[in-house]
Structure formats: structure tokens, C-alpha cells
Structure 1
Amino acid sequence: MHIEQLDTELMEWLDGGRLDTKQHEAMQLLTVTDGQWAHTAMISMGEVVAISPTCLRLALWQGTQTSMNMMETGKATLIAIHGQRLLHIQLGVRPLPALAEAVHPRDRYDCNIRHIRIDEAPYAEITSGITFQLKDQAGALARWAATIEDLKK
């Protein structure tokens, strides 16, 4: 199935709120290197926020290979599992200016959703995606909350 924008359920999931209940969820962010190899990175719920049904904002650690790839190509694909759906969200990427007052400086991106492919199988249910356990839960959740607020600016 294909859709062109986030539905109500996905907008609520990616709203940047209730991070404590989403702390174990992760997604993959796919980019392409200058050598034309696929590059994957993990992204947490504290590094992405839906601004509208057609726009996401992403925050990446500064100077990462993923960030460099996105600046070079202007493209990325976010892979996520939610509600027994495997989502492939194609993004057109534009860097946002740095925030001088950011407590946790990040490379920030405004991402136009170009296309969403949803994989579902009639004979099987997706029961989980990538999950993890935070080592410093309080510190990570505080950093994520600050990052989400910076992405909304």
C-alpha cells in the first residue's frame, strides 16, 4: 500500500510527546554515501517530530556520516514499524539553521514526505521493530525532550 502523508495514528505517534512510553522504540534512517553505498543509522523517538502530515523534522548528532550524506543528496528514507505496519518514508531533506541556544546541539533537518510505502502481509503480523534499553533513562529522556523542543523551532 502507498500513501502520500502521515495518517492520524502516525501523526500522534510522531508528535514528540510521551517520550517515556516510547523510550524503547527506534527506527532506521537510510542514506546513500558518495560511493553509492547504502548507509544505515539508528534514530530514536527523541530525534524526530511530525510538524504536519507532510513534514517531519530530524535531529542528528553533528558531523555524522548520515548527516553528511543527507546534506550531499538531500534525500533519506526513514524505516519504522508501528501498528503492525512496516513504513518506508521517503524524505526530501533540507538543513535547518543551527540554534545558538540549543542545550544539545544537533544538525537539524526539515523533511518533506515524498512518499510512504506500507508493507503488510495478510498471512503474518509484525509484532515488533527495533527496540533498545536506555542506560541512563532520565538523562536520555531529558535530552530528547530538549531536542524535540528545538526541532519545533
Structure 2
Amino acid sequence: MNDSPPAERPLDQRVFDEWPDAVRTLFDGSSLESKTGFTASLLTVDTSGHVRTSLLGVGELYAPDSRTLCFALWPQARATRAIAQHGRAALSFVCDAAFYQVQLLVAPLAAVAGDDSGLVYLTGSIDTAESQSVQYARLTSGVTFELEGEGKTVLDRWERQIEHLKQAAAAASR
């Protein structure tokens, strides 16, 4: 006979429809230099049914409110074409020792006056979302990177992109 206490649930899985505080802070568009290295995987499905991944940094992601994520993509990117066809994407990333996967319903944002970046701005609303963590192991990162060479140039570009995302998000909410 086994008298040991029942094992704790090894997987802590949480479903949410609003960004948790740690994620909102990550995607708030501020302090980009201190968040450099963070990478999220944007997953889309192309016309052939193949899953495609685009890697995005904090300079390409902005959460204007608790249920929305705006992001910037290059117009020629496969993800941009797939989203234009299906209006859906999934974002996965590691934050605050948990793995997140968020299904997004995506729509285009209007162009921003004075923006000559050539980027396409999109807004996604949370369709379904969950985070997962385990008590016996702490996720410390997902895909990460270091800026090399022209890092300052990239940070400057990210600052402009975030400003344009903020402007586009504000215009869409009016």
C-alpha cells in the first residue's frame, strides 16, 4: 500500500484572454535596449498548408491594450502573405519562466503618415491563449539573439517601428 501524498500536478497550464502583466511589460514598447535578445516565433500557414515561422524581436511587437498585439512585418515575407489570406497567426515565446502560445485573429493597420520603412503593420486580437510551466524546471529563455555590428542602428529602427505601431494602434482604436 502506498501512503505517500498524491503527486503535485507537474504541468501548470493557464488559459487567458488578456495579456498577463509580465507579457504586457515585455510588449509595452519601452526600454527596448534592455529587452534585446528576446525572440517570439510567429507561426502562419501558407497556401500549401505548410507551417512557416517568422522570428520577431521586441522592436516589432507592441501591445496597446490587454487583448491586442500589433506587429510589423516586411511586405514580401511569407507570413505577411499567409496572414493576408487567412487572417490568423500563432505567436509562441518564453516569458516569466513560462512557455506561451497565443492564437491571434489578425487584420491590417492603416499606414502611418511619414513612415517610409516599407513595413506592413498588423493588429492581432487574442483568440485563444495559454501558458505552460512546470515546477521541476524553470524556462530561462526561448530563441534568443545578440545584436552585432550595427546594433545601434537596429535599436534606432526598432524605436521608430514601435512609434509607428503605437500611432497605427491609436488610430485603429478611434
Q: State the TM bucket, normalised to the shorter chain.
A: over 0.9
| Distance (Å, rounded) in 2 between the aligned partners of 1:36 and 1:45 | 28
The structure having more radius of gyration, on CA atoms, is 2
Q: TM-score, normalised by structure 2?
A: 0.84
Q: Write the mapping of 1:119-138 to structure 2, written as runs, cut at 5 A.
A: 119-135=132-148, 136-138=150-152
| Distance (Å, rounded) in 1 between the aligned partners of 2:27 and 2:112 | 22
- Provide the alpha-carbon RMSD of the alignment: 1.1
The equivalent of 2:21 in structure 1 is 8
| Distance (Å, rounded) in 2 between the aligned partners of 1:103 and 1:23 | 24
Q: TM-score, normalised by structure 1?
A: 0.96
| Distance (Å, rounded) in 2 between the aligned partners of 1:104 and 1:145 | 12
- Which region of structure 1 is more displaced relative to structure 2, 100-109 or 132-141? 100-109
Task: Provide structure 1 residue ranges, at least 5 long, that are not aligned to the other structure.
Answer: none
- Aligned to 1:27, which of 35, 40, 45? 40
Give the 3-state SS of the residue equivalent to 2:161 in structure 1.
helix
Task: Provide structure 2 residue ranges, at least 5 long, that are not aligned to the other structure.
Answer: 1-13, 168-174
Q: Write the mapping of 1:1-153 to structure 2, written as runs, cut at 5 A.
A: 1-135=14-148, 136-153=150-167
Identical-pair percentage: 27
Q: Provide the aligned length of Structure 1 versus Structure 2.
A: 153
Off by >3 Å, runs of 4+ in structure 1: none
Task: Give 1:110 shift.
Answer: 1.1
Task: Give 1:122 shift.
Answer: 2.4
Give the 3-state SS of the residue equivalent to 2:163 in structure 1.
helix
By percentage of residues, which structure has more strand? 1
Amino acid at match of 1:12: T
Whether contact under 8 Å (1:5, 1:115) holds in the other structure is no
Task: Give 1:62 shift.
Answer: 1.7
Task: Give 1:21 shift.
Answer: 0.4
